[in-house]
Amino acid sequence: MPLITEKLITLKNAWMASHITDAEFPTPLSEKGLHLYQLAHSELSTQVVDSVISPSESSLTFYPVDCHPLTIRYALVYSSYWQQEEQQQALVEYLTQIMFEADANAQLYVGFYKGKPAATGMIYTDLDEGKKVSLISDIHALPLPNQTQLMQDMEHYLLALAHQASTTIILQK
């Protein structure tokens, strides 16, 4: 794994964990959610994206997560990645602890399908030798008949966004 990829993943994972590890009184359920998140992400692969295809017409409407109601929607959609209800509850407990600061390197997104939250994704951006580099991750969609298309729509949207600002883009899935 190239150093920049490893660095971005380490920074993103540290940011995601910080919402629980830095909390004064994290709940046992949120700690379990963090563990499940970390376990699932340890099995993902990465690839450097050399070229970005312009996104075609999307069935999603995209919103950056910038308030707690959108954080909750993000958590509910992303938790559907796990099959067991107990695990989903732990993920919701964990992900709803995410706090945003104006200068955070991470930006979460929720994609709405027919007016309802249906897909998630994240862009984590950092500097490498003075140049912006981005990691696209956490792409998931509800288990609907068009789940694959929703995930592709989210991926294309995030790649296009990252391409505007970054010299290197890494996709984790």
Tens digit of each residue's pLDDT (9 = 90 or more) over 69-113: 999 999 999 999 999 999 999 999 999 999 888 789 999 999 999
Of residues 145, 91, 93, the one with CA closest to residue 118: 145
Q: Left if phi > 0, otherwise alpha if psi is -120 to 50, otherwise beta: which for 129? A: left
The span from the CA of 85 to the CA of 79, in Å, is 9
- Kindly tell me if the per-residue pLDDT of 55 is higher than 70: no
Q: Indicate the domain borders of the chain.
A: 3-172
For 3-172, CATH gives 3.40.630
Tens digit of each residue's pLDDT (9 = 90 or more) over 125-173: 999 999 999 999 999 999 999 999 999 999 999 999 999 999 999 999 9
Core vs surface per residue 76-108: b (16+ CB within 10 A) or e: bbbbbbbeeeebbebbbbbbbbbebeeeebbbb
**What is the largest distance, in Å, between two alpha-carbon atoms of the chain?**
45
Tens digit of each residue's pLDDT (9 = 90 or more) over 57-79: 899 999 999 999 999 999 999 99
For position 135, what pLDDT does the model report?
A: 98
